[in-house]
Copies of this chain bind each other. A is one copy, B any other.
């Protein structure tokens, strides 16, 4: 069982990385890029008792991980997706 956690900066929070990437893409001639935001995609491989649980419970556990560690909820949002 795999889970993916997508962590992205909240709207309105400055994204220096995205800004710099945007700038560099323009320098490379990709003029039609209007905005860039960089986020993280964290892929978790789950096993054991947790992997055997119903989807809703797995999702809740992964959300808990995101809240506690994977995302900095002061400035970041996250979303969880279960795969396979």
Contact = CB atoms under 8 A, between A and B. Distances in A.
Contacts of A39: 40-43
A contact patch SS: mixed
Nearest to A30: B65
Each complex incorporates copies of this chain amounting to 2
A74 B2 CA distance: 26
Interface residues of A, number: 35
Interface string A35-51: 11111111111111111
Interface in A1-58: 6, 8, 18, 21, 24-25, 28, 30-51
Interface of A: 6, 8, 18, 21, 24-25, 28, 30-51, 61, 64-65, 68-70
